[in-house]
Structure 1
Amino acid sequence: MDIIGAILWPIKWAIEFILVSFHSLFTAMGMDPAAGATWVLAIVGLVVVVRAALIPVFVRQIKSQRKMLEIAPELKKIQDKYKGKKDQFSREAMSRETMELYRRTGSNPLSSCLPLLLQMPIFFGLFSVLSEAQKGNAGIGFMTQQLAVQFSNASLFGLAPLHESFQGAASMNPPQVAVMVIAGVMVVLMTASQFITQLQIVSKNMSEETKASPAFRQQRILLYVLPLVFAFSGFAFPLGVMFYWLVSNFWTMGQQFIVIRNMPTPGSQAAKDREERLARRGKLPKGAAEVIEVEAPKPIQRAQPVSKNRAKKSGKKK
């Protein structure tokens, strides 16, 4: 067994356990064990378990992102200090001061990628499990020969085998149009969900200071690059793996929407929208800036100076 295989072994064991457990649950509820719907629901159950387990990591990611926003002005000062300096000494000094800032504040610029990085071994493990199952081969633990054959023969909507991919269907003679259509729709949904998730962050959950920083330009690049990665790579993956990826994307999109709506980044458009909603309901939290209407003071009429002659005349009239 190679190093990658050794790393993936416990992950594959856990994936088989969760997948087979949900499959057994739905079978006990009366569903056909060999039906594609049963295996699809088992994959959905796998997504729910994996993403629920990653919620603490996601919360940690949110906290780290807030720290990065807090140090954005200091980070900008360091970048401006060495702007235009391309010598080796200046680069090392800039890197050293930046890392010291990260260490002192306890922030990590890579934290935003942590949930995705943790999911990648799970994704590769699932790909390996389904690749073996599509050949009818038993897994390393709970995926028996019988279950592997059932999965291999299961079809999505009774038309597209879960082990088939767009690329594989297109290379057949004749091509399997149904598989290609379903796979194409799933790729579009995967790409759209990824784009919407990134767009929520860029358009609503970033402060004006962040939008003026180089980090925002990198985020804008990811807004268009990541969906393209999903679009091109999705055509080569089996439908079972794509379904896991699609459901996981929908989970991320919904989770991001809830976080942005209820815990927005201070100074962002989402934070302003939240304050407006709370103000309309009369539920502004303590410390929030409330607009208090103060009646403008009436102008005081200036007394006109009176000459001595006029003062004497007015005195005689009395």
Structure 2
Amino acid sequence: MESQRNILLIALLLVSFLIWQQWQTDKAPKPEPVLASQSGTDSSDAFVPESDLADGDIPATDAPVSAARRLVTITTDTLKLSIDTRGGDVVHAELLEHDDELNSDDKFVLLRNGTDFVHVAQSGLIGRDGPDARADGRPVYQAEQSAFELAADQDSLSVPMTYTNDQGVVFTKTFTLHRDQHLVEVSYRINNRSAEPVQAQLYAQLKQSEVDPDAEGGNALMASAYRGPAYSTTDTRYTKYDFQDVREANLNQTTEGGWVGMLQHYFVAAWIAPEQETNQLYSRARSNEGIIGFKAPLVDVAPGAEQTLTAKLWLGPKLQDEMAAAATNLDLTVDYGWLWFIAQPLFKLLQFLQGFVVNWGLAIVLTTFAVRGIMYPLTKAQYTSMAKMRMLQPKLVALRERYGDDRQKMSQGMMELYKKEKVNPLGGCLPILVQMPIFISLYWVLMESVELRHAPFFLWIDDLSVRDPYFVLPILMGASMFVIQKMSPTTVTDPMQQKVMQFMPIIFTFFFLWFPAGLTLYWLVSNVVTIAQQWYIFRQLEKKGLHSKAAS
């Protein structure tokens, strides 16, 4: 197996992978564009789930509310939230540590409630006495002021909002945010000042438009990151439940704990259900929107008693360590695909090295050195096998002349020759087969790891998660492939195959024009290390007389 055919194998595997990924992205039918009149701007005019009571106990919630409503703003060092006092929904969320675009003054907006796109986090109390089950619409909460901000000497900020029903029951919905965190605690304190028991049930859900008009168009040569619903149960650690699934069937899963989320590239919004309770996960399709949520168990609050119900809301980047601490399996939303068992260690290695060099580009370079160092025994076996195979060519030609079209005898003769000369015909393929999963895994690490978003390398490379703006790295990568091709011994005599091999560096350069700069950097450094290793191995083979004989 000569080097050129191995390169062709890489190309075929790579193209097949990209085509399969794009097919995965495009196979689902596209929903119709969202109309402004369908989405509206009223987050409270939304699906409210049935409680665990009999059907008919939950009246419609579309009736207008005459009470005044407003937005309450909560700002910490990491989050800026806007809460609609009607229902107490989070209708806008900015991530203050993340720019919308590189070097932009605007911050990344995770939740918003616009005319063309809706993504909001809703919660409430349903059941017989739940305020969100009222016949005249969802409750309008009262807050002491319209803006709250975490002070420099505070580690946490709690914002209570109250609503009192006609029976005198006081419902206090409190948002608690902590410094340097993306987790929001949302609690309901039910103070039953009435003479009758109060029965209520906590629910929380995420609503999102199926089509995002601001989403960047996917590149035909690049796999797209998943956007849509997902959930976790005790039986299923992490499952995507895309908008098509939501339209086709209502999710109905019962689990202890669990979470539901809306995923997108680098970021996630997720409701985390009470861990010690048995909760019901659900989904609904509404117009051109998808809804996924959970319901906690019904509770009874005796007259004169109080009870607090709590859920948690993650609003932030896909930071694996923080998400793992926030909820079981929430870190799996950093989806490395079916090669996660390779991607996870690669990311840990990247993260470890970055802690020393404080530069993600240098960490990629050092990771490449580590990977190629580990693979060196295979690389040495590859080039040794290539040299021995070249030496056997005259004997293989003689076998073909002797046996002609008798493939069985030809095969037997080749196997005896390989055994006699101690040559493994597959020795040149093994490093390629090992390297391809590593390449694909690193592709997903660079695609999914928010730490690399807007991470600079040096000079013109100011974002490793996007393509090289001047295409310098892809061109250098193609040139390094050309050098490897010229250094490698070959037995190809067919003119057509020779032309295909000559065009391989050009074809690969074209592919890599759109690849993330970090991935291209890895492949370029890997090629440079390969050139150095190849030069050293061939020198050792020349001392043994193998390379010179193979090249003669």
Aligned to 1:153: 454
Query: Superposition pairs for residues 118-137 of structure 1, below 5 Å?
Result: 118-133=434-449, 136=450
Of the two structures, which has the highest relative contact order with CA contacts closer than 8 Å and spacing of 6 or more? 1
Aligned residue among 352, 356, 359 for 1:21:
352
1:9 Cα deviation (Å)? 1.6
Query: Superposition pairs for residues 236-255 of structure 1, below 5 Å?
Result: 236-255=514-533
Task: Tell me which amino acid in the other structure corresponds to 2:395.
Answer: E
Aligned to 1:259: 537
Task: Give the 3 Å change call, closer, same or farther, for CA 240–76 of structure 1 in structure 2.
Answer: same
Aligned to 2:370: 49
Aligned to 2:393: 72
Aligned to 1:81: 402
Aligned residue among 465, 471, 475 for 1:188:
475
- Say which SS state the counterpart of residue 533 (structure 2) adopts: helix
Task: Give the 3 Å change call, closer, same or farther, for CA 196–219 of structure 1 in structure 2.
Answer: farther
Task: Tell me which amino acid in the other structure corresponds to 2:384.
Answer: K
- Say which SS state the counterpart of residue 268 (structure 1) adopts: helix
Counterpart CA distance in 2 for 1:154 and 1:39 is: 7
Query: Which has the higher mean CA deviation after the structures are superposed, 12-21 or 153-162?
Result: 153-162
Counterpart CA distance in 1 for 2:337 and 2:446 is: 18
Unaligned 5+ runs, structure 1: 28-37, 137-147, 166-178, 203-210, 273-318
1:261–1:270 CA contact under 8 A, matched in 2: no
Higher helix proportion (structure 1 or 2) = 1
1:46 Cα deviation (Å)? 0.4
CA-to-partner distance for each residue in 1:15-64, whole Å, 9 max, x for gaps? 0111001001123xxxxxxxxxx111000110010011011112222332
1:220 Cα deviation (Å)? 4.4
CA-to-partner distance for each residue in 1:159-217, whole Å, 9 max, x for gaps? 5421112xxxxxxxxxxxxx431xx2212111111111121224xxxxxxxx7x55797
Task: Give the 3 Å change call, closer, same or farther, for CA 269–64 of structure 1 in structure 2.
Answer: closer
2:339–2:441 CA contact under 8 A, matched in 1: yes
Is structure 2 residue 163 aligned with structure 1 residue 163?
Answer: no
Counterpart CA distance in 1 for 2:380 and 2:387 is: 11
Counterpart CA distance in 1 for 2:411 and 2:550 is: 33
Query: Superposition pairs for residues 292-307 of structure 1, below 5 Å?
Result: none
Counterpart CA distance in 1 for 2:548 and 2:422 is: 23
Task: Give the 3 Å change call, closer, same or farther, for CA 9–259 of structure 1 in structure 2.
Answer: same
Query: Superposition pairs for residues 279-298 of structure 1, below 5 Å?
Result: none
1:199–1:223 CA contact under 8 A, matched in 2: no
Counterpart CA distance in 1 for 2:403 and 2:336 is: 45
- Say which SS state the counterpart of residue 465 (structure 2) adopts: coil
Is structure 2 residue 490 aligned with structure 1 residue 200?
Answer: no
Counterpart CA distance in 1 for 2:370 and 2:478 is: 23
Task: Give the 3 Å change call, closer, same or farther, for CA 214–129 of structure 1 in structure 2.
Answer: closer
Task: Give the 3 Å change call, closer, same or farther, for CA 250–231 of structure 1 in structure 2.
Answer: same
Task: Give the 3 Å change call, closer, same or farther, for CA 270–254 of structure 1 in structure 2.
Answer: farther
Aligned to 1:33: none
Task: Give the 3 Å change call, closer, same or farther, for CA 218–256 of structure 1 in structure 2.
Answer: farther
2:380–2:537 CA contact under 8 A, matched in 1: no
2:473–2:520 CA contact under 8 A, matched in 1: yes
Counterpart CA distance in 2 for 1:68 and 1:218 is: 21
CA-to-partner distance for each residue in 1:140-164, whole Å, 9 max, x for gaps? xxxxxxxx2xx20213436542111
Task: Give the 3 Å change call, closer, same or farther, for CA 16–159 of structure 1 in structure 2.
Answer: closer
1:98 Cα deviation (Å)? 2.3
Task: Give the 3 Å change call, closer, same or farther, for CA 11–18 of structure 1 in structure 2.
Answer: same
1:113 Cα deviation (Å)? 2.8
1:76 Cα deviation (Å)? 1.4
1:260–1:270 CA contact under 8 A, matched in 2: no
Task: Give the 3 Å change call, closer, same or farther, for CA 215–10 of structure 1 in structure 2.
Answer: farther
Counterpart CA distance in 2 for 1:216 and 1:198 is: 16
Aligned to 2:427: 111
Counterpart CA distance in 2 for 1:9 and 1:120 is: 14
Higher strand proportion (structure 1 or 2) = 2
1:196–1:253 CA contact under 8 A, matched in 2: yes
- Say which SS state the counterpart of residue 263 (structure 1) adopts: helix
Is structure 2 residue 339 aligned with structure 1 residue 8?
Answer: yes
Counterpart CA distance in 1 for 2:455 and 2:492 is: 48
2:453–2:465 CA contact under 8 A, matched in 1: yes
Task: Tell me which amino acid in the other structure corresponds to 2:519.
Answer: V
CA-to-partner distance for each residue in 1:51-102, whole Å, 9 max, x for gaps? 110111122223323432443332111122245x4xxxx2343234323433
Counterpart CA distance in 1 for 2:371 and 2:547 is: 32
Aligned residue among 233, 252, 262 for 2:511:
233
Task: Give the 3 Å change call, closer, same or farther, for CA 267–58 of structure 1 in structure 2.
Answer: closer
Aligned to 1:268: 548
2:372–2:526 CA contact under 8 A, matched in 1: yes
Query: Which has the higher mean CA deviation after the structures are superposed, 252-261 or 43-52?
Result: 252-261
1:195–1:223 CA contact under 8 A, matched in 2: no
Task: Tell me which amino acid in the other structure corresponds to 2:347.
Answer: E
Task: Give the 3 Å change call, closer, same or farther, for CA 222–259 of structure 1 in structure 2.
Answer: farther
Counterpart CA distance in 1 for 2:371 and 2:456 is: 24
Task: Give the 3 Å change call, closer, same or farther, for CA 267–116 of structure 1 in structure 2.
Answer: closer
1:106 Cα deviation (Å)? 3.5
Task: Give the 3 Å change call, closer, same or farther, for CA 199–214 of structure 1 in structure 2.
Answer: closer
Residues matched between the structures, number: 217
Task: Give the 3 Å change call, closer, same or farther, for CA 100–185 of structure 1 in structure 2.
Answer: same
1:269 Cα deviation (Å)? 8.4
Counterpart CA distance in 2 for 1:251 and 1:124 is: 19
1:108 Cα deviation (Å)? 2.5
